[in-house]
Amino acid sequence: MAKIKEGLLPNLWDLLVSVGATCSALLVPLELIPTLLKPVSAGSLEWFITTLYIADVVVRLYRLDRKAPGRRPGDRLAAYWRGGMLIDVVAALPVHLLFGPSPWQLLRLLKLVRVAQLMHAWRQRRVQRSNVLRLAFFVYWLLLSVHWITCGWISLRDAAVGVDAGTRYLQALYWCVTTMTTVGYGDVTPVDNAQTLYSIWVMILGVGVYGYVIGNVATILGNIDPARATYLRQMERLSAFMHYRRLPMLLQGRIRDYYGYLWEKRLVYDESDILRDLPSSLRTEVTLYLKRDFIESVPLFQGAGDAFIRDVALEMKPVVFMPGDAIIRAGERGREMFFISRGAVEVRAPNGRTVYDTLTEGDFFGEIALVLGRPRSADVYAVDYCDLYRLDKAMFDRTLAHYPDIAAQIQQRAQERQRRDPT
């Protein structure tokens, strides 16, 4: 709880300061057009913003103290200075009170640097929605720019008699939007050189913005569901390959079914490939999380300690078999054993007719060849789609050397099964 508070409060404060900076950015151009806004109407908001900015200077100093407690006040100031204290102090000057509505108010806009910094920090933290955030932040800057361009247009045009401030703003906004979106109805046209130059500039700006938005929206749509995109890419490559090599239709159908199953069970990503890049502590945590249900379903693991479960979970690799697949063939050399996470397998005698047993979730097989060092004793077939975990021989030997109790249980099971087999 304390941790959440620690992260939440600074965030809320930064958000509040950003709201203040946004209000400034909206208010300043309005105040600079003398005929548009009566200075009194913005007075209390100006006071609020000044107070907020002064408080922000104090908060930032306090935060530096929290980050490195015990620092001397001089060092703290020096650190803040390097971190942009000048911007905060200048933006906090009560310019409204000192100079009235004047270009000095533009100093307030320095605080937008903090908004940009906050946006940058958010994008760094929320990587998975980074593109959406980028577009949202872009829209923010775009709206501010539209407001400024609208105010610029108002300042260049003479006010028509009897038109109130709201209508003037709305008409200028209409001109700005039609020009920036390159719609340009032509019903509002420049009447002098300044307005013509201004219009040309806004048109050029509009074309750039348009391209940026279209490009970003396309990227965002492509990234909304990366897992689906990966799956579709895989399927397209596969279809092209199957068509190119003219695989039989039946085989093509089986391949499609296999990928369909991977998609349905959320196995499209190659886990080991992705986990490899993580530091070992995180890798263990993610692996245990992903395999928790399975580990809990294996009776062999019930009494085993945490250390064993961690070791074995890290070594087991997921594999999928389709209905009817031969997982093990009698007489082959044993290189691995399997644990069943989902599905069922049939253990059949080498003659292929007698079914020794049907094993389901939580069972394991393929241990006899590893424990007794003999060829495979039976055939094992997948009855339906099977999600298995494979433990190869080297890992099996290494892991069990450290856990003699578990090794004894597996050995005992191998001998029981072998005794049951008539061959």
- Considering only 25, 42, 320, 328, the residue that binds ligand CMP (CB under 6 A) is 328
In the shown chain, the binding pattern of residues 74 to 103 toward ligand CMP, with x for contact by CB under 6 A and - for none, equals ------------------------------
Closest-CA residue to 392 (of 343, 304, 319, 296): 319
How near is the Cβ of 327 to ligand CMP at its closest, in Å? 9
User: Rounded distance, CA 303 to CA 373, Å?
Assistant: 26
Q: Identify which of residues 14 and 379 has a Cβ nearer to ligand CMP in the complex.
A: 379
Q: Round to whole Å and give the CA distance between 400 and 315.
A: 12
Specify the residue for token string 């379903």: 297
| Pairing mode of beta strands 355-359, 379-382 | unpaired
- Does residue 389 touch ligand CMP according to CB under 6 A? no
Query: How big is the site for ligand CMP, counted in residues (CB under 6 A)?
Result: 17
**Token pair recorded at residue 372:** 């007794």
Residue 284 one-letter amino acid: T
Residue whose C-alpha is closest to residue 172's, from 4, 229, 190: 190
Strand intervals (E) in 113-248: none
Instruction: Give the residue among 28, 29, 46, 40 at the shortest CA–CA distance from 154.
Output: 29
- With CB under 6 A as the contact rule, the residue among 71, 147, 254, 417 that binds ligand CMP is 417
Contact pick of 334, 340, 389, 410 for ligand CMP (by CB under 6 A): 334
Residue 130 or 418 having the CB closest to ligand CMP: 418
Q: Distance (Å, rounded) from C-alpha 409 to C-alpha 275?
A: 30
- Write down the least CB distance from residue 339 to ligand CMP, Å: 11
Give least dist CB 338 to ligand CMP, A. Answer: 8
Per CB under 6 A, 410 contacts ligand CMP: no
* Distance of closest approach, residue 388 Cβ to ligand CMP, in angstroms: 12
Return d(Cα 145, Cα 137) in angstroms, integer.
12
- Interface residue with ligand CMP among 53, 169, 356, 381 (CB under 6 A) is 356
CA-based angle 237:238:241, to the nearest 5? 90
b/e map 280-316, b = 16+ CB within 10 Å: eeebbeebeeebeebbebbebbeebeeebbebbbbbb
Q: Which is nearer to ligand CMP, 17 or 386 (CB)?
A: 386
Q: Which is nearer to ligand CMP, 151 or 380 (CB)?
A: 380
Choose between 357 and 361: whose C-beta lies nearer to ligand CMP. Answer: 357
Q: Could you say which of 271, 346, 392, 421 contacts ligand CMP (CB under 6 A)?
A: 421
Based on CB atoms, which residue is closest to ligand CMP, 65 or 357?
357
Smallest separation (angstroms) from ligand CMP to the CB of 377: 3
For residue 370, the minimal CB distance to ligand CMP (Å) is 6
Query: Which lies closer to ligand CMP via its Cβ, residue 202 or residue 369?
Result: 369
The yes or no reply on residue 347 touching ligand CMP (CB under 6 A) is: yes
Question: Is the CB of 187 or the CB of 416 nearer to ligand CMP?
Answer: 416
Site track for ligand CMP across 357-386, x = CB under 6 A: x-------xxxxx------xxx-x------
Rounded Cα distance, 114 and 17, in Å: 8
Q: What is the DSSP string of 356-391?
A: EEEE-TT-EE-HHHHHH-----SEEEESS-EEEEEE
Q: Identify the H or E element spanning 387.
A: strand 386-392
Closer Cβ to ligand CMP, 175 or 356, answer by number = 356
**Residues near 343 by Cβ (< 8 Å), separated by ≥ 6?**
321, 360, 361, 382, 383, 384, 385, 386, 387, 388
- Smallest distance, Å, CB 365 to ligand CMP? 3
Dihedral Cα 205, 208, 213, 214, nearest 10 deg:
140
Residue 283 beta carbon to ligand CMP: minimum distance, rounded to whole angstroms: 29
**Judged by CB, which is closer to ligand CMP: 184, or 362?**
362
Write out the residues near ligand CMP by the rule CB under 6 A: 328, 334, 347, 356-357, 365-369, 376-378, 380, 417, 420-421
